[in-house]
Chains A and B, each alone.
Chain A
Amino acid sequence: MREADFLRRISERLGRPQPTVPPHRMEIGAPDFWRNPAAHAYAPAERFARELEQVGGMAVSCSSLADLRTKLHDLLAQWQPRRIGTWGGNFVQEMGLNSVLAPYEWIRWGDGGTDAFAHVDVAITGCAFAVAGTGTIVMESSPERGRSVAVLPPVHVVLLRTSQLRHRMGEVLEELAQRKPVLPASIHFITGPSRSSDIENDQTIGVHGPAAVYVLIWPDGAGQP
């Protein structure tokens, strides 16, 4: 059906001509009490950790970037992954992870097709935001930050700066709404590991996406945890 006819049918059913100006609105987004910062009077880093653990993820608090590297080193030593995959571009250099990754086979996003990531055991990425109230991390796609990095491997390690923490999802959505002219092609809110209750209501994790989500949080000075 032609778009014009489709839309005209809707207008006719609604019993008025097709509008030429945007509809007037009174109630947009969350109720006022929820927008009030007083409703979210908690330390975001602690709350984030608690919520993430509630849904089966792990939060690791780090005192500095150096501490983060040590903790990441220890985690990897424990897991002994056959292959690690990271974001592309300068991510590994910026985070100073070269020596942490050196003992392992590792690839960056872009060092091969998506298929290369099908055999990655551990993905290491940053994120764009995190939502403390639900233990959620937010990923945005770009040429160096493929969508598949966070979804294909069984373990996902996220490096989160405290300045990226927000209390509630609405704050992230408001910031995203400012992006012009278009949003990133993929924005992904991830809350804990992949899960399903489809077999006799028995919860199982890692059905398609990662079975383990580790978030290493470090204070970057730009915001207080």
Chain B
Amino acid sequence: MTAQSGISERAQSALEDDFLRQAVRFTADRLRGKKQVSTEQLGNWESWRERGQAIRAHTIANLDSYLAQFADRVRQAGGHVHFASDAAEAVEVVLSIARGKGARSVVKSKSMVSEEVHINHHLQNAGIEVVETDLGEYIVQLANETPSHIIIPAIHKTRAQIRDLFTAAGGEQLTTDTKTLAGFARQRLRQKFLAADIGITGCNFGIAETGTVVLFTNEGNADMVANLPKTHIVLMGMERLLPTLEDLEVFANLLPRSATGQPLTAYLSMITGPRRRGDLDGPEELHVVVLDNGRSRQLGDPHFQAVLHCIRCGACLNVCPVYRQIGGHAYGSVYPGPIGAVLTPLLQQDETYADLPYASSLCGACAEACPVKIPLHDMLVRLRQRRAATGRTPALEKSAFHAYRVAFANHRRYRLAFGTARVLQRPLVQDGGIANGVGPLSAWTATRYAPAVAPRSFRARWGELRQTLHGPSGGSRTSEDGDARRQEEGTRDA
């Protein structure tokens, strides 16, 4: 049985790409470090998380009410609201608006929902030029690729590659220094903003009480996308609401800190309806497309409703040992990392992504990092169980998974199992990956590509990580962690 989404093959090639691996780790570490500093500076991080979780849980539990209110307020402010039950309907709404305007060019700012419905592809098929204007997305688009991180889409590209892409796009005598490259993008994209017929953005939050669309960005491109073209289309997942403006303060503290470690992004833009009478800029028309696409199926599900609390910060990616090894593309899905491994098979409940929940070590770091306390690792386990219960898991995988889970179920055994694996794998490690596993891991690696166990195992770094997440007073250091570290040092010396 082959992996449906092909994650094992892509993980293999990701592991062979040294730059990618380094870049992913470097980025993840940097973001994680900055997050730590900025959450410590804020203080009371646990209380903020709890408040964030409470607000998201309340909103999702009353989503019908808030969505109705939001739609009313958007219309009251002069905007249009469209409801799309799936990707095809969302695409049709956008295409019909574009056709109605005779649009020839569209500028976009980064939006995961637009990736989810593959809007670029459909617009281009309709003969409409689509330009991504977020610097990272622009690079990814020129390379004909998809984002590898939900916050920093082009982390897998080197500056030399970026220079080559920009040169192919018409840049002359470009060097590889950041200023020159960014300068080219600024100039080129400025022309695109001013000429575009339609701007498409996502939506970080919709405020129900005011009908406001809120965007958090750093570059300023979303503002140009939203303000300069005559028509602004907002693509938003239906769960993206907050009841009141006051609630936004909580998420203005949680989201940027969790995503990039910034106290606040450079721009927080609140858009309420199209331009008003007498305004000289701002869109003449504002369309908000509210997308379901499998989300409503999670409502009422005691185990998975909380996945809709997600605020798409990417913090779970940055701490995930699997993501750090293989990068975003290996998942083959729009949403990578732990959230992607949970959300993707939930949104698309066929065989395509059924193997994604296995791309996890179930270490729980994702849930610890999540600013709205989504129990991602519990969900991963349940998804695996759900799949096993349908009998679709091959016998081989079942036994391997069983061994894996037994090991994870007990800290001590986990440590021992990995300690053993680390010793045993030594002759087998190639380019940082394990070609063929040994012992309990061998069956697993026959169908999945097991990331090499880090020189110091994740378990051994767990104590440090807990400290990172909870601060030194977290009290979660146990003597077992200390043992692990000592044992770890011994192993390395050996």
Q: 16 A-B contacts, Cβ less than 8 Å apart?
A: A3-B81, A3-B83, A6-B290, A25-B58, A30-B253, A133-B263, A134-B264, A136-B264, A141-B276, A147-B227, A173-B248, A183-B270, A186-B271, A189-B267, A194-B219, A208-B224
In Å, the complex CA distance between A124 and B475 comes to 52
- Among A31, A110, A208, contact of B186 (Cβ-Cβ < 8 Å): A208
Question: Which residues of the partner chain A approach B274 to less than 8 Å between Cβ atoms?
Answer: 185
Measured in the bound complex, the distance between the Cα atoms of B134 and A166 in whole Å is 31
| Beta-carbon contact of B51 and A30 below 8 Å | yes
In the complex, the number of residue pairs spanning A and B with C-beta atoms less than 8 Å apart equals 273
Q: From known contacts A10-B296, A14-B64, A201-B155, infer whether A29 and B227 are also in contact, taking CB-CB under 8 Å.
A: no
Contact between A14 and B227, CB atoms less than 8 A apart: no
Taking Cβ atoms with an 8 Å cutoff, the residues of B that contact A are: 23, 26-27, 30, 44, 47-48, 51, 54-55, 58, 61-69, 71, 73, 76-77, 81, 83-85, 89, 133-136, 139, 152-155, 157-159, 162, 178-179, 181-182, 185-186, 189-190, 194, 209-212, 218-221, 223-224, 226-228, 238, 243-250, 252-253, 260, 262-282, 290, 292, 296-297, 299-300
Shortest beta-carbon distance from A29 to chain B in Å: 3
Assembly CA distance A83 to B274 (angstroms):
29
Say whether, besides A7-B64, A141-B279, A194 and B218 are in contact (CB < 8 Å).
yes
Q: Within the assembled complex, what's the spacing in Å between the Cα atoms of A114 and B196?
A: 14
CB distance from B218 to the nearest CB of A (A): 5
The minimal Cβ–Cβ distance linking A36 to chain B, given in whole angstroms, is 12
Given contacts A183-B270, A185-B274, A195-B219, contact A10 B182 (CB under 8 A): no
Give the contacting residue for B64; candidates A10, A115, A208; CB below 8 A: A10
- Complex alpha-carbon distance, A52 and B153, angstroms: 27
The answer to whether A207 and B221 touch (CB under 8 A), given A177-B245, A187-B270, is yes
B220 pairs with A207, CB closer than 8 A: yes
| A6-B279 in contact (CB<8A) | no
Query: Complex: how many Å from CA A197 to CA B178?
Result: 9
A202 vs B297: C-alpha distance when bound (angstroms) = 41
How far is it, in angstroms, between the C-alpha of A113 and the C-alpha of B83 when the chains are bound? 34
Mark the stretch among A16-24, A72-80, A93-101 that contacts chain B. A16-24
Report yes or no: B134 in contact with A198, Cβ–Cβ below 8 A.
Answer: yes
Contact mask for chain A residues 25-47; partner B; CB cutoff 8 A; 1 contact, 0 none: 11111110110000000000000
B158 adjacent to A200 (CB under 8 Å): yes
Q: How far is the CA of A185 from the CA of B211 in the complex (A)?
A: 11
Q: Name the CB-closest residue of B to A194.
A: B220
Apart from A15-B300, A51-B263, A200-B23, what are 17 other A-B pairs with CB-CB below 8 Å? A1-B89, A3-B71, A9-B292, A23-B62, A25-B243, A28-B244, A113-B280, A134-B263, A136-B264, A141-B279, A142-B278, A146-B280, A186-B270, A191-B263, A191-B266, A209-B219, A209-B220
- How far is it, in angstroms, between the C-alpha of A10 and the C-alpha of B295 when the chains are bound? 9
The answer to whether B159 and A18 have CB atoms under 8 Å apart is no
A196 contacts the other chain (Cβ, under 8 Å)? yes
A142 touches B296 (CB 8 A): no
Q: How far is the CB of B80 from chain A (nearest CB, A)?
A: 11
A192 at the interface (CB under 8 A from B): yes
Nearest chain-A residue to B181 (Cβ)?
A199
Is the CB of A60 closer than 8 A to any CB of chain B?
no
When the two chains form their complex, are residues B273 and A31 in contact, meaning their CB atoms are under 8 A apart?
no
Provide the bound-state CA to CA distance between A33 and B67, in Å: 30
Q: What A residues does B62 contact at CB under 8 A?
A: 19, 23
Report the bound CA distance from A18 to B67 in whole Å. 12
With a cutoff of 8 Å between Cβ atoms, the chain A residues found around residue B296 in the complex are: 9-10, 13
**Cβ-neighbour of A177 out of B23, B159, B246, B290 (below 8 A):** B246
A143 in contact with B278 (CB, 8 Å): yes
A222 to B234, CA, bound (A): 40
Tell me which residues across on chain B come within 8 A of A173, comparing CB atoms.
Answer: 245-246, 248-249
On whether the beta carbons of A190 and B63 are closer than 8 Å, the reply is no
Chain A residue, CB-CB nearest to B47? A31
Instruction: Indicate if the CB atoms of B223 and A209 lie closer than 8 Å.
Output: yes
Query: Is A161 an interface position by the 8 A CB rule?
Result: no
A166 to B71, CA, bound (A): 31
Specify which chain A residues have a CB less than 8 angstroms from the CB of B47 in the assembled complex. Answer: 31, 33
Q: What's the minimum C-beta distance from A166 to chain B, rounded to whole angstroms?
A: 11
The answer to whether the Cβ of A169 comes within 8 Å of any Cβ in the partner chain is: yes
Is A151 in the interface zone, CB < 8 Å from B?
yes
A148 within 8 A of B: yes
Q: Which residues of A contact B158 (CB under 8 A)?
A: 200
Whole-angstrom distance between the alpha carbons of A150 and B436 in the complex?
Answer: 58
Q: For residue B140, which residue of chain A has the nearest CB? A: A198
Tell me the nearest residue of chain B to A134, going by C-beta: B264
- Cross-chain contact A1 with B85 (CB below 8 angstroms): yes
In the assembly, what is the distance between CA of A169 and CA of B244, in Å?
14
Q: Is the CB of A201 within 8 A of B26?
A: yes
> Which residues of B sit under 8 angstroms from A142, Cβ to Cβ?
276, 278-279
A198 close to B135 (CB less than 8 A): yes
Q: How far is the CA of A181 from the CA of B300 in the complex (A)?
A: 35
Q: In the bound complex, how far is the Cα of B89 from the Cα of A2, in angstroms? A: 11
A28 touches B243 (CB 8 A): yes
B135 touches A207 (CB 8 A): yes
State the CA gap A18–B54 with chains docked (Å): 22
Does chain B have a CB within 8 A of A206? yes
Q: Are B178 and A199 in contact (CB under 8 A)?
A: yes
* Chain A nearest Cβ from B42, distance in angstroms: 9
For residue A69, CB closer than 8 A to chain B, the reply is no
CB-defined contacts of B246 to chain A, threshold 8 Å: 28-30, 170, 173-174, 177
Q: How far is the CA of A223 from the CA of B164 in the complex (A)?
A: 54
Chain A residues near B58 (CB, 8 Å)?
A: 23, 25, 27
Residue of B nearest to A20 (CB): B65
Q: Does A126 contact B (CB under 8 A)?
A: no
- Judge whether A208 and B249 touch: CB under 8 Å: no
Contacts of B210 in A (CB 8 A): 177, 182-183
Tell me the residues in window 52-79 of chain A with beta carbons closer than 8 Å to chain B beta carbons. 55
**What residue in chain B is nearest A110 (Cβ atoms)?**
B280
B68 and A7 form a contact (CB under 8 A): yes
Contacts of A209 in B (CB 8 A): 219-220, 223, 266-267
Give the shortest distance, in Å, between B41 (CB) and chain A (any CB). Answer: 10
Question: Which residues of chain A come closer than 8 Å to B271, judged between CB atoms?
Answer: 185-186
Known contacts A182-B273, A204-B182; is-contact A198 B133 (Cβ 8 Å): no
